[in-house]
Structure 1
Amino acid sequence: MTAPVLFSELACPQGGAIAVATLNNEKTLNALNLPMIELLYTQLQQWQSDTHIKMVFLQGQGEKAFCAGGDVLAARQSSLQTPGGPCEYAETLFELEYRLDYLLHNYRKPMVVWGHGIVMGGGLGLLAGCSHRVVSEKTRIAMPEVTIALFPDVGGSYFLNRMPGACGRFLALTAASINATDALYAGLADTFINHSLQAQVLECLQGLHFSGDKQADSELINAQLSAFAQASAADQPAPNLQPHQAIIDQLCEGDDVQLIAERIEAYQSDDEWLQRAQQGLRGGSPLAIKWIFKQLQISRELDLKAVFNAELVLVTNIMRHPEFAEGVRALLVDKDKNPQWQYKTLAEVDDAVVDSFFEPPWPQNPLVDL
């Protein structure tokens, strides 16, 4: 049986090597399960302390996806096995996933991620943490958690709050998908390169003379990636976010999530991208819409460590509640796309119920040592 994550090293003629990690679960669009997270976390720590390794290149197997998210089917099963919790598998999965993401954000060596194809949920957590984030003509990014009664986690509370205007709030509430050009605009990616050039990019990186100093080596890598970006510029897709920035800001203004949702749903437009966003909001869990909004609000001023601690509180409480299992059932198990949410409308959702999801479910946060 093939390993779910492949690891290799490419020798550099000038000395040292490039470490390559490949998510290798193509049939699930490289969705992250617990064994994959454990393998990645362990290997990345080893490479970080290995002076022979000069940089890391992270990619997904196949043409369809870098990583389509986390293993929500297994998380659902864990949630159903112990209603009310603790949900051992699910809670371990999220804790280690957040540790992995935090490691990426603070990695002591340059890390290039090739974000080709579908990049969603947990995949976006990986992409966001890398120092050199490449996207392609086929990149499709989304945080669609509202549709399964989850929330944009894996650091989403941090990077969504740092997008232009209300873009992060809009994407979180509507599950709208964006392309490579949007990712550059939103600060989720650094460089656009045509996917057909991937092998050439790796070859050029192999030829670099790495010094072992992260900043100096990062500048060398940037120079190479920029040259490929110039050659790819004509292939960049038309943007969605920037042309809609003014209307997004207008629709998402204020601190009343019910009013914001009503504005988004009522907006009249023949724009297909906006219509799909409206459908995403309408199909989402009213309870999740409220906890997503609150999570973004409380995370505005938090640093990354505090964000991951806060996200673990919320996700643990969600795993111990039936709404998530029902969302996954409707979308991915029975696939009837007819979830029976606990509340039918936002107006029915009591704020005290929402607040209860933000109460720590243990004496000490497992991520306190980050």
Structure 2
Amino acid sequence: MESLILTEVIGGLGVVTLNRPKALNALSLEMVRELDRVLRRWAADGAVHGVLLRGSARPAEAGKPAGPVHFCAGGDIRFMHQAATTGDLALDDFFTEEYALDHLIHTFAKPVIAWLEGVTMGGGMGLAQGARLRVVTPSVRMAMPETRIGLFPDVAGGHFLSRLSGHVGEYLGVVGPQLNAAEALGLGLADVGAQADSLTVLLQDLQERPLRQGDDVCQRVRSHAEQHDTGDWPEAAVLAEAPRIQRHFSLPTVQAIEASLKQDDSEWARQTLHHMAGHSPLMMCVTLEQIRRARTMPLADEFRMERDLVRHCFGLRKGAASETVEGVRALAIDKDQRPRWHPATLGEVTPDMVAAFFQPVWPDHVHPLRDLLAVAGDERAA
């Protein structure tokens, strides 16, 4: 069976290809562990001067054409559902090791470049937002849609969302809208745009003119991307709504945000309310609190907070009673699109319900992410 992670070194650049295309390259525990091993090996390899992360496409088969390239749709939510309902402790391992991998990317000593095409969501954003250079292509669909499945924007979502301008991070985390390439660039979730097929040209150029020790890897990739940017980008519609986003999502609670949106007679407000109506009321409130706490937290501490949060997602209500398990059931297992949220409305969510998610699970000295350090990469990412 072909590996779920493909690796090669091209002209001094370590290239990692996520290779689970039929699942939109969603991350499994095996993939997380292999990524960690590869990055740690390349960190100590003097012949590797930087790393590029990319996704793969479903190959042509049985008369069907090849599918589009997707970077990563997130974590494997079917695995999460099965593990949570059967008591499989591998679920704990997945989140601990995924968050540690994301922290490693944020703090990696060598430049990491994320080449983003197609679906880039959830766990895919966790990989991408730790990269030193984030390249988006016209097909990218970027989001942190976790409240739709009764979760919160993890994988350092609190960190990178809270550091966006104004209160746009609260909007992206609570509502989870999909962003196109121009919106990702305009909001600061990407650094440069490029045409997708230019990646082949870049790798060919690296073969002919390899990187040398001390070369500015990011500048070389950035210059290449800019040379292959046709300027043919979709409209960045969400940027035009910045004043509305600021007005509504600066309010102190999700209940206040909802009430304010109901007074806004715009199509954008109606669509925002429509999206929120399908999400977990409780986890939208938890998400708002998460992002606001994370705004002043160092990266390592934010990861530790998220690890506590996700443990509560599967522990405060166990098995099928978990808000997250119910959300995944409705979206991906039974596919009835009718989650039975508890509480069912925002009006029923109390401050005590939200506060319960932020109670520490482990003493500091035994926390699963106790070894994450506030090293130079934390300051860079902050």
Aligned to 1:267: 264
Q: Is 1:300–2:302 an aligned residue pair?
A: no
Q: Is 1:250–2:247 an aligned residue pair?
A: yes
Q: Distance in 2 between matches of 1:27 and 1:202?
A: 25
Aligned to 2:64: none
Q: Is 1:55–2:50 an aligned residue pair?
A: yes
Give runs of aligned pairs for residues 84-233 of structure 1, distance below 5 A. 88-208=89-209, 210-213=211-214, 216-218=215-217, 221-233=218-230
Aligned to 2:378: none
| Aligned residues: CA RMSD | 1.7
Q: Is 1:65–2:70 an aligned residue pair?
A: yes
Distance change >3 Å, CA 103–CA 207, structure 1 → 2: farther
Deviation track 1:96-153 (CA, whole Å, cap 9, x = no partner) reads 0111100101111112211111100000011101111110000010111011010001
Indicate the larger mover: 254-263 or 51-60: 254-263
Following TM superposition, the consecutive aligned residue runs of length 4 or more in structure 1 with deviations greater than 6 angstroms are: none
Q: Distance in 1 between matches of 2:248 and 2:199?
A: 39
Q: Is 1:76–2:71 an aligned residue pair?
A: no
Residue number among 302, 307, 314 corresponding to 2:309 in the alignment: 314
- 8 Å CA contact retained: 2:323, 2:342: yes
Identity, in percent, stands at 35
Distance change >3 Å, CA 205–CA 132, structure 1 → 2: farther
Aligned to 1:366: 368
Aligned to 1:5: 5
Aligned residues: 355
Q: Distance in 1 between matches of 2:194 and 2:212?
A: 25
Shift of 1:207: 4.4
Q: Distance in 2 between matches of 1:224 and 1:88?
A: 41
Letter in 1 for 2:347: A
Q: Distance in 2 between matches of 1:292 and 1:198?
A: 36
Distance change >3 Å, CA 206–CA 236, structure 1 → 2: farther
SS at match of 1:315: helix
Residue number among 32, 38, 41 corresponding to 1:37 in the alignment: 32
SS at match of 2:109: coil
Distance change >3 Å, CA 285–CA 54, structure 1 → 2: same
Shift of 1:344: 1.4
- 8 Å CA contact retained: 1:191, 1:226: no
Distance change >3 Å, CA 311–CA 224, structure 1 → 2: closer
Shift of 1:227: 4.3
Structure 2: runs of 5+ lacking an equivalent: 58-67, 373-382
Residue number among 17, 22, 42 corresponding to 1:22 in the alignment: 17
Q: Distance in 2 between matches of 1:263 and 1:206?
A: 56
- 8 Å CA contact retained: 2:202, 2:224: no
Deviation track 1:337-365 (CA, whole Å, cap 9, x = no partner) reads 10011111112112112211111222332
- 8 Å CA contact retained: 1:75, 1:89: no
Distance change >3 Å, CA 344–CA 283, structure 1 → 2: same
Shift of 1:266: 4.9
- 8 Å CA contact retained: 2:74, 2:124: yes
Structure 1: runs of 5+ lacking an equivalent: none
Q: Distance in 1 between matches of 2:2 and 2:259?
A: 49
Shift of 1:276: 4.2
Q: Distance in 1 between matches of 2:262 and 2:308?
A: 30
SS at match of 2:49: strand
Deviation track 1:43-68 (CA, whole Å, cap 9, x = no partner) reads 11001111111211111001241000
Letter in 2 for 1:61: S
TM-score, normalised to structure 1, is 0.92
Shift of 1:210: 3.5
